[in-house]
Structure formats: C-alpha cells, structure tokens
Structure 1
Amino acid sequence: MNHTVVQTKKAPAAIGPYSQAVIHNNIVYCAGQIPLDPASMDVVPGGVQKQTRQVMENLKQVLLEAGTSFGKVVKCSIFLDDMGDFKEVNEIYSEYFGENPPARETVAVETLPKHVKVEISCIAYI
C-alpha cells in the first residue's frame, strides 16, 4: 500500500485495530473520534456539548498532525446515540467550520464505543 499512517499523542490513541488517520494521494481519512481526553484516555465528563467539543478538538489535532485543517475538510460523518442531541451538536460543530461547511451526514446509532454520546469522522485534503 502507498499510504502514510498519522499518529499524534495530542489526540486519543486508537482503542482498537485502526489508525487515527491515513493519508493516501493527499487525502486524509480520519477515523471516528470519541470524547476521550488524550492524556487520561477517559471519557470527558459532562453532557453532549462538552463531548462534542472534545471530539472536535481531537479531530483538529489529528488534522494538524496530517498537515491539514478544518478548512480543508470535505466530508464529515456524525454518529449520535440520541437524535434529540442534534441541535446541541450542531451548535458546537458549526464553530469549527466557516461559511461553507463540508458535506455531512448525521445518523443515530444504538450504542457508541464506551457509551459516549457522539462520534465524528472526517475526510480532508492536504
């Protein structure tokens, strides 16, 4: 394979057999991030807003390590354990993107790893 694995200690280590991100042909494929504190690997306390902010900060660190940023994200996937949190997640999420946000889908799932409220993945270019 002709790709580069991205790894930073400024984001949580993978909790399974996957990479934080992979770069192939100048495209960065970021694994889903959940609201883990990178230092302790514990789920951040608080509700969905605090969890969403931690997820976005984790993604930001992975993107930076890959040599890109939120301004170059073309697609996000959001997974929620409760679609009732949609509005609150959008409020935090929108702070990280400018006037032209990336394409996105948001889906409700039964359960997320470590029983968190939100997980977000993204695809960006360098």
Structure 2
Amino acid sequence: MSKINAEDAPKPVGLYPHARKVGNLLFLSGVGPRTAGSDANDSGVPGLKLDHNGNFLEFDFEAQVHSVFNNVKRILEASGSSWEQLVDVQVFLVNMKRDFHTFNKIYAEYFKENQPCRTTVEINSLPTPIAIELKCVATVE
C-alpha cells in the first residue's frame, strides 16, 4: 500500500493522505472544494464568503461542485490515475433539497463518457464550512 499526497490539491484537514493505492485500486479520502493553499481555518472555498460569526455572506453551490471535481482530478492525476478511471463516487451533501438538482445537472456534464457507480447522501455537516464532499475509488494501470 502506498500513501499519496497531491501537491496541487488542498491539504487534508486531518492526519490522512489524499489517497492510498492498494493493488490496482486507488482510494481517495474525502475531497472537498477548498482551493490548494487554503486550510481548515481559512474558508478558501470558491463561491463562499462568511462573516466573522461564520454566517454566509455569499454562497455559490455550483462553484463548489466545479471546485470539488477539479480537486478530485488533481488527486487522481498525481496518483497515476485519471477521471476516466473512476469506478465509484460517494457524494455527501449538507442540503439535499436545495442542492441535489444542481449537483445532478453538473455531474452529468462531467460524466458523459465515464459513468462510475454513485451514491448520494445528505449529512448534517462537514468539518469545514463546505456544502459537498466526495469519496472516490478509481483504478490505476
């Protein structure tokens, strides 16, 4: 088993790697939409601005979806895999009612060719002020 950390992806918010390779499978840790160079204390989330109390001043869910997909791509490529080699995507949304339709529409744009298995669930919260996180499995050749 090998641990992989992608230099151009946001740092994990805990002691875990971006991914682990086991045989020809690649398991990604939960990936959110933060930008590289940001950390858990600095929102660094596209489309999100918070006031000093942590309340939303601006919220753009579409920007978060595009950003999380880009972060997954960066980790896959740094791991010797690719978008086309994704086989399973678990999606965690903090507001299914508000965001599922938008997510589903954007997801369809990114997965026209490769169509991995997918599970989408609503959760109460995530450890940083984000609205989406992905957990992915891909193959590595």
Q: TM-score, normalised by structure 2?
A: 0.82
Deviation at 1:115, TM superposition (A): 2.4
| Structure 2: unaligned runs, 5 residues or longer | 48-58
Q: Matched residues in 1 for 2:67 and 2:6: separation?
A: 15
1:23 counterpart = 2:25:
no
Q: Matched residues in 2 for 1:64 and 1:97: separation?
A: 17
Deviates more, 1:33-42 or 1:9-18: 33-42
Deviation at 1:53, TM superposition (A): 0.7
Deviates more, 1:101-110 or 1:111-120: 111-120
Deviation at 1:87, TM superposition (A): 1.1
- Secondary structure in structure 1 of the residue aligned to 2:110: coil
Q: Which has the larger radius of gyration?
A: 2
1:40 is matched with 38
Deviation at 1:100, TM superposition (A): 4.3
Q: How does 1:67-86 map to 2 (within 5 A)?
A: 67-84=80-97, 85-86=99-100
Q: Give per-residue Cα distances to partners, 1:56-115, cap 9 Å, x unaligned.
A: 000000000111111111100000000121111112222222334100100000001212
Q: 1:8 to 1:99 in 2, by over 3 A?
A: closer
Q: Give per-residue Cα distances to partners, 1:29-75, cap 9 Å, x unaligned.
A: 01111110102332222411100111000000000011111111110
2:128 is matched with 114
Deviation at 1:26, TM superposition (A): 1.3
Q: How many residues align?
A: 124
Equivalent pair of 1:70/1:96 in contact (CA under 8 Å)? no
